[in-house]
Amino acid sequence: EGLRGINGLTVHGEAPGKGAVLTFSLEGAHPHDIAQLLDRYGVAIRAGHHCAQPLMDHLGVTATARASFAIYNTDTEVDAFIEALAKARKMLL
């Protein structure tokens, strides 16, 4: 829900019943830069082609950012991710 307020954010793969892996990109920002900035806020994500180069080619991107959530993640941690991503966007764009 909170991600919808981040301009330029593209979520790749919004299938119903999909797992808790969020693959995304920010228009004009390289995924590695996003990952480094989120790390400064204590949020760990992955960036790159995730051993899925054919999928990246299909999506028309060279890389994506990926956040993985699990049952033990709290609402506070999810909110921290969204807040850090919004801050990173402001810094990068």
Distance CA 25, CA 12 (A): 8
Q: Is residue 59 within 8 Å of 50, Cβ to Cβ? A: no
Catalytic residue positions, numbered: 51
Distance CA 24, CA 90 (A): 16
